[in-house]
């Protein structure tokens, strides 16, 4: 460990301090298990401290000139079993996202975890939480594929345990099982890719050269990486675990999982494909782009019809990963065609969206946690009217919703704007297929944007506005202040990044120069109002801060003018207009299901909605009771996964009777034959 301090600069020391603090948080949370209150305070306190060090580490590392720093190198006698921890600017960028999120989530957790006191073992939760963060840090900083793989596995396992933390609920256990199966299928692809990598280069060094790998093997590796990392990212069609696993975990963990864990897949794609393999073929980018388009559209479509708050957020994560993948796809296409300007722009868009999604999805999951904390339900149909009962949470949630809907002056708009700009710049005469794909991406992005806004209008409008739809909702009270502080920091950051995007873009420029050798700053000009607000790319400029100013000015002018013309505001409060029937109540409000119905019918190709009406009683027009069931058809489960699992089941059934006979002698014969064949192979090879 001492050499480690010696080898690195200042940020190395900070890095190790934060690692030690996280480890301490993990250990203390186990040691103090008996006293949940102290345990929560100590463990989260240490995590907060650690994340501050993490932020410092990454900012220093991005700021200094050195492109990458070895933090710890342990070379064992066996060549590929080495532990190699490095920090370069790309790692630092993701580390920064992680640390910022951990800071806020840990503050939030101090309040949030209190509802587990006396019900579940909180110490274990904090231990898993801290260990999960550690594993993600090592995924981001590892320089050796084997070590990366170990950290990746640890991340998957720890998050699995967090998903099934509330294991008394059957749905959580099922969600966990689906998650662990899917994530291991993804990991299997990665393992094969690493083996191919080793078999050609005789090295697991992620920063090494891939020159020894022939082109066809690179193509295979790309597909494997795409499938492997895509599964973790939750791109359609390997997304099915995400909408179940993310909502099952405790909310602050969901924030981490959606906010940063799925981004490790983006990191992996950039690290292994973009930087290690090098982009060879245009079709790589096209494949990523197509996945991105499909995910963005499907994700948001399913989010819109969902009525569980956390599941809606999880589907929206799929959409956002889709947007990130659209940026990545453009970057890969541009790189393959040697168009480094567009490549840099698209990478910046994609990384910027990673950061933004971390901020706003983090805050929204925390908000969903607050709603669950206060009302005990995640079902929108049981909520309503929370804005009067939880005013602070409501404001923060609204800001998060505005951010994710890409509305100025919040941050979501900036990255979406960059994505649009890179799509715009990618349309060049001569590449018919790519152009058509790009314009389709524009259409999809537009539709996804509108549907995302609608989803969050529905989420906010149904759960926070109107009348409470159940006892639980009407009894809800504002959550502890510390939870709102955690959420508030994230929302403030959303607004700050949205108003002053140049600050982040200058950081991204350093990341990109270090990682891809492309500088985007020459394309970004500073304007006249403040150095940090307007951004412009080849003359296309926006200035969110100015727009915010215009908003404020117009609102002020409207207030003043109306005051002058109409005098003081006179307001009468009466009931909502009920057409004269005087029977308006919570049940006559629009429901979440009803809200999404028009879209469900308009896009019935996708949803295949079903409707069953069951009536009881003899009279056709005056039945005793009516049961009305609506549903949508889960396309992927039914047409992709069900056939696969059926096939697997029938094959294993056959194997049970022909190969796995249960006879020891048969097994011994298998062993003998294997040995003989191996010996034979060894002889003739």
Partner 1 sequence: MMHAVYALIQIIVIILAAPLVNGIIRKVKALTQKRKGAPLLQMYFDLFKLLKKSVVVSDVASWIFRAAPYIAIASAVAASLFVPVATWPESQGYAGDMILFVSVLALGRFFMMLAALDTASTFGGMGSSREAMISALIEPSLLVTLFTVALIAKSTSIFQIMHFTAGVGIPLLHPVYILGFAALCTIIIAETSRVPVDDPSTHLELTMVHEAMILEYSGRDLALMELSASIRQLVFITLLVNIYVPHDQMIALYGLSGFAAIAVSLFVYLIKVVLVSILIAVIEVHAVKLRLFSIPNLAALAFIVSFLGFIQYFVLGR
Partner 2 sequence: MSSYLDILSVLLLLSSFVLMANKRIKSHIRTFRFQSAMIALAAGILGVNSLIHEGRVDLLVVCAVIIAIKVIYIPRLLHRVYANVEYKVEKDFFLNIPILILGCCMIVVFTYFALSKTDGINTGTENMRVVNSVSLILIGLFFMISRKKAIGQIVGFLVIENGIFVTAMFATQGMPFIVDMGMFVDLLSAVMILGIMVFKINEKFDSIDINKLKNLRG
HSE-up of 146 (CA within 13 Å, CB side)? Answer: 15
Q: How many residues bind to partner 2 according to rule CB under 8 A?
A: 17
Short-list 267, 264, 285, CA closest to 222: 285
Task: Name the segment binding partner 1 (CB under 8 A); options: 192-200, 374-382, 408-416, 643-651.
Answer: 408-416
The two beta strands, 68-75 and 82-88, are: antiparallel
Task: For residue 573, give both structure tokens.
Answer: 């409060």
Q: How far is the CB of 76 from partner 2 (least distance, A)?
A: 20
Q: Interface with partner 2 includes 76 (CB under 8 A)?
A: no
Rounded alpha-carbon distances, angstroms, from residue 323 to 389, 421, 493, 506, 574:
35, 13, 21, 22, 45
Which CB sits closer to partner 1, 42 or 542?
A: 542
Q: Which region, judged by CB under 8 A, interacts with partner 2, from 62-70, 167-175, 399-407, 674-682?
A: 674-682
Report the site for partner 1 in 305-344 (rule: CB under 8 A).
none
Q: Which residues pair with 68 in a beta bridge?
A: 88
CB of 628 to partner 1, least distance (A): 17
Closest CA to 613 of 622, 623, 626, 601: 626
Work out which of 158, 408, 487, 497 binds partner 1, going by CB under 8 A.
Answer: 408
Q: Using CB under 8 A, which residues numbered 628 to 667 contact partner 2? A: 656, 660-665
User: Does 367 participate in binding partner 1 (rule CB under 8 A)?
Assistant: no
Looking at residues 476 to 515 of the shown chain, list those that interact with partner 1 (rule: CB under 8 A): none
Contacting partner 1 (CB under 8 A), which of 212, 602, 672, 675?
602
Q: Determine the Cα–Cα distance for residues 479 and 13; give it in Å rounded to an integer.
A: 38
Q: Which does 663 bind (CB under 5 to 8 A by kind): partner 1, partner 2, none?
A: partner 2
Is 449 near partner 1 (CB under 8 A)? yes
Looking at the Cβ atoms of 563 and 656, the one nearer to partner 2 is: 656
Q: Is 77 in the site for partner 2 (CB under 8 A)?
A: no
- Considering the complex, what minimum distance in angstroms separates the CB of residue 669 from partner 2? 6
Binding residue (CB under 8 A) for partner 1 from 66, 388, 653, 656: 388
Pull the structure tokens for residue 94: 């993701």
User: For residue 473, what are its two tokens?
Assistant: 């909702």
Q: At what angle do helices 481-499 and 411-426 cross, to 10 degrees?
A: 40
Does position 119 bind partner 2 by CB under 8 A?
Answer: no
* CB 674 to partner 2: min, Å: 10
User: Cα(290)–Cα(606) distance, rounded to whole angstroms?
Assistant: 17
| 626 vs 678, beta carbon nearer partner 2 | 678
The smaller minimum CB distance to partner 1, of residues 220 and 427, is found at 427
Do 220 and 199 form a contact (C-beta atoms < 8 A)? no
Give the separation between CA 293 and CA 323, rounded to whole angstroms: 7
Q: Is 420 in the site for partner 1 (CB under 8 A)?
A: yes
459 binds, among partner 1, partner 2, none (CB under 5 to 8 A by kind): none
Mention every residue, 6+ apart, whose C-beta is less than 8 A from residue 615. Answer: 623, 625, 626, 627
Compare residues 2 and 574 and give the one whose CB is closer to partner 1: 574
* Residue 590 binds which entry of partner 1, partner 2, none, CB below 5-8 Å type-dependent: partner 1
For 178, list phi and psi in degrees, rounded to 5.
Answer: -60, -40
Q: How many CB atoms lie within 10 A of CB 632?
A: 17
Instruction: Assess 580 for contact with partner 1 (CB under 8 A).
Output: no
The stretch near partner 2 (CB under 8 A) out of 327-335, 463-471, 638-646, 677-685 is 677-685
Q: Is 14 in the site for partner 1 (CB under 8 A)?
A: no
According to DSSP, residue 143 is labeled: -
638 binds, among partner 1, partner 2, none (CB under 5 to 8 A by kind): none
Residue 170 Cβ vs partner 2, minimum distance, rounded to whole Å: 23
445 binds partner 1 (CB under 8 A): yes
Query: What minimum distance in Å lies between the beta carbon of 282 and partner 1?
Result: 18
For residue 355, the minimal CB distance to partner 1 (Å) is 19
Tally the C-alpha atoms within 13 A of residue 632's C-alpha that lie toward its C-beta: 21
State which H helix or E strand residue 535 sits in: strand 535-537
Whole-angstrom Cα distance, residue 524 to residue 417?
Answer: 13
Give the binding-site size for partner 1 (rule: CB under 8 A): 86
Query: CA 166 to CA 526: how far, in whole Å?
Result: 51
In the list 442, 482, 485, 496, the residue contacting partner 1 (rule: CB under 8 A) is: 442
Beta bridge partners of 69: 87
Q: Could you tell me the smallest distance in angstroms from the CB atom of residue 675 to partner 2?
A: 7
Distance CA(430)–CA(637), nearest Å, equals 39
327 contacts: CB under 8 Å, gap ≥ 6: 292, 346, 347, 349, 350, 353, 418, 419, 422
Rounded to 5°, the CA angle 662-663-669 comes to 120
Regarding 632 and contact with partner 1 (CB under 8 A), the answer is: no
When CB distances are held under 5 to 8 angstroms depending on the partner's kind, the choice from partner 2, partner 1, none that residue 664 binds is: partner 2
Least CB distance from residue 683 to partner 2, whole Å?
5
Written as six digits, the tokens of 537 are 């790319």
Angle between helices 411-426 and 432-464 (to 10 degrees): 160
622 binds partner 1 per the rule CB under 8 A: no
CA 366/CA 483 separation, integer angstroms: 8
Q: In this structure, are residues 4 and 141 in contact, taking their beta carbons and an 8 Å threshold?
A: no
Comparing CB distances to partner 2, the nearer of 626 and 676 is: 676
Residue 429 binds which entry of partner 1, partner 2, none, with Cβ cut-offs from 5 to 8 Å by kind? partner 1
The CB-of-118 to partner 1 minimum distance in angstroms stands at 35
Q: What are phi and psi of 470, to 5 degrees?
A: -155, 170
Q: Among partner 2, partner 1, none, what does residue 679 contact (CB within 5–8 Å per kind)? A: partner 2
Secondary structure of residue 35 in the 3-state scheme = coil
Give the footprint of partner 2 on this chain (CB under 8 A): 656, 660-665, 668-669, 671-672, 675-676, 679-680, 682-683
């Amino acid at each position: 460990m001492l050499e480690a301090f010696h080898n690195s600069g200042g940020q190395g020391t900070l890095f190790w301090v934060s690692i030690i603090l996280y480890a301490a948080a993990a250990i203390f949370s186990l040691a103090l298990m008996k006293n949940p209150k102290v345990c929560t305070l100590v463990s989260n306190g240490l995590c907060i401290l650690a994340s501050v060090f993490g932020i410092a580490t990454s900012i220093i590392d991005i700021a200094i000139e050195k492109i990458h720093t070895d933090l710890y190198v342990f070379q064992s006698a066996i060549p590929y079993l080495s532990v190699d921890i490095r920090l370069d600017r790309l790692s630092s960028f993701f580390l920064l996202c992680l640390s910022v999120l951990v800071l806020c989530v840990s503050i939030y957790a101090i309040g949030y975890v209190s509802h587990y006191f006396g019900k579940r073992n909180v110490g274990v939760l904090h231990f898993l939480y801290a260990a999960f963060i550690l594993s993600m840090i090592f995924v981001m900083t590892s320089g050796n594929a084997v070590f990366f793989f170990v950290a990746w596995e640890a991340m998957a396992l720890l998050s699995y345990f967090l998903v099934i933390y509330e294991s008394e609920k059957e749905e959580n256990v099922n969600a966990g099982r689906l998650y662990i199966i899917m994530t291991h299928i993804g990991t299997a692809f990665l393992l094969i890719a690493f083996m191919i990598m080793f078999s050609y280069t005789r090295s697991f060094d992620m920063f090494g050269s891939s020159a020894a790998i022939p082109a066809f093997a690179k193509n295979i590796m790309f597909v494997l990486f795409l499938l492997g990392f895509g599964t973790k990212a939750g791109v359609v069609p390997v997304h099915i675990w995400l909408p179940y696993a993310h909502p099952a975990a405790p909310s602050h963990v969901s924030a981490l999982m959606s906010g940063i864990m799925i981004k490790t897949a983006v990191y992996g794609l950039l690290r292994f494909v973009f930087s290690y393999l090098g982009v060879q073929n245009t079709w790589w980018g096209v494949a990523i782009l197509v996945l991105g388009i499909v995910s963005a559209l499907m994700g948001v479509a399913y989010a819109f019809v969902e009525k569980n708050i956390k599941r809606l957020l999880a589907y929206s994560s799929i959409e956002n990963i889709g947007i990130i993948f659209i940026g990545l796809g453009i970057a890969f296409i541009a790189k393959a065609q040697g168009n480094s300007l567009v490549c840099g722009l698209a990478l910046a868009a994609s990384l910027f969206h990673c950061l933004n999604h971390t901020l706003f999805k983090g805050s929204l999951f925390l908000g969903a946690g607050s709603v669950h904390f206060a009302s005990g339900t995640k079902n929108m149909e049981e909520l309503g009217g929370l804005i009067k009962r939880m005013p602070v949470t409501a404001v923060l949630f609204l800001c998060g919703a505005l951010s994710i809907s890409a509305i100025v002056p919040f941050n979501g708009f900036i990255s979406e704007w960059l994505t649009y700009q890179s799509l715009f710049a990618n349309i060049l005469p001569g590449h018919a297929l790519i152009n058509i794909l790009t314009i389709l991406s524009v259409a999809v992005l537009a539709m996804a944007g509108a549907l995302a806004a609608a989803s969050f209008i529905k989420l906010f409008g149904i759960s926070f506005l109107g009348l409470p739809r159940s006892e639980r909702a009407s009894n809800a009270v504002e959550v502890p202040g510390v939870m709102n502080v955690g959420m508030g920091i994230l929302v403030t950051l959303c607004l700050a990044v949205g108003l002053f995007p140049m600050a982040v873009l200058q950081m991204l420029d350093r990341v990109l120069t270090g990682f891809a050798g492309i500088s985007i700053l020459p394309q970004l000009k500073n304007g006249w109002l403040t150095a940090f607000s307007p951004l412009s790319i080849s003359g296309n400029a926006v200035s969110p801060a100015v727009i915010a100013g215009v908003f404020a000015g117009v609102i002020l002018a409207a207030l003043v003018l109306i005051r002058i013309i109409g005098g003081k505001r006179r307001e009468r409060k009466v009931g909502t207009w009920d057409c004269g029937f005087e029977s308006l109540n919570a049940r006559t409000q629009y429901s979440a299901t009803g809200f999404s119905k028009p879209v469900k019918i308009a896009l019935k190709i996708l949803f295949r909605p079903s409707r069953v009406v069951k009536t009881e009683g003899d009279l056709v027009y005056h039945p005793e009771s009516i049961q009305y069931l609506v549903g949508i058809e889960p396309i992927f489960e039914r047409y992709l996964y069900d056939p696969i699992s059926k096939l697997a089941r029938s094959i294993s059934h056959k194997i049970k009777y022909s190969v796995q006979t249960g006879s020891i002698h048969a097994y011994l014969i298998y062993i003998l034959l294997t040995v003989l064949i191996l010996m034979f192979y060894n002889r003739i090879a």
